[in-house]
Amino acid sequence: MIELTDTVRDAFARGYLEAVSSSVAKLPLAQIALFAETVERAYRDDRQVFVIGNGGSASTASHMACDLAKNIYPAGAPEVRRFRVLSLTDNVALITALANDCGYDRVFAEQLSYYLRPGDLVIAISASGNSPNIIEGLAAARAAGGRTAALLGFDGGRARDVADIAVVVDSRDYGHVEDAHLVVNHLVTAWMRRVVADLHRD
């Protein structure tokens, strides 16, 4: 058994951070630019944005919805048009009712059947890209005339081929993938803050 000394902990922390840094450094910049442009277009066209994910990615979906809905406006500018962004992971009563009655695979597709209008944007977040409810949600969005984008990991899974735009983190470690997804979220939020400021500059 290895003694868990401060030196061992330091080395572990250094290795983890180096792996995350490597995953972030390898992010596909062209795909991130397309992802940011898609989010920007949704704001410019006054579209609704829906974000979906499971587990840790459900938390990232909530985080992204919060950031895009609240944190992109110039200070002291209450008249600026708000961005309509909603995470479909947050209504526990509805999710459990749909899972019970329709199956867990349908928890996002069914919600999108209520809310999505043609031209709206669905953002899927999934490390594996293979969760059935993510695939069905993306397919339902496209069938209803929505646009789709995905933050993925591993090899992108099935979602890579279903989404219009996919940003794939080159890692097979769930933690590293989810860390990189949060970096992309904050990058896009910062971009949208600049876009909104430019659109509403006096």
pLDDT of 189 strictly over 70: yes
Numbers of helices and strands, H then E, in the chain: 8, 5
Q: Where are the domains of the chain?
A: 6-199
CATH topology of domain 6-199: Rossmann fold (3.40.50)
| Mean pLDDT rounded to a whole number for the chain | 95
pLDDT tens sequence across 82-125: 999 999 999 999 999 999 999 999 999 999 999 999 999 999 99
pLDDT tens sequence across 143-172: 999 999 999 999 999 999 999 999 999 999
How far apart CA 115 and CA 177 sit, in angstroms, is 29
CA angle 141, 191, 78 (to 5 degrees): 90
Contact 122, 112 (CB under 8 A): yes
Look up residue 93 and give its two tokens: 């009563």
Least Cα distance to 140 among 100, 114, 117, 113 occurs for 113
What percent of the chain has pLDDT above 70?
A: 98
pTM: 0.95
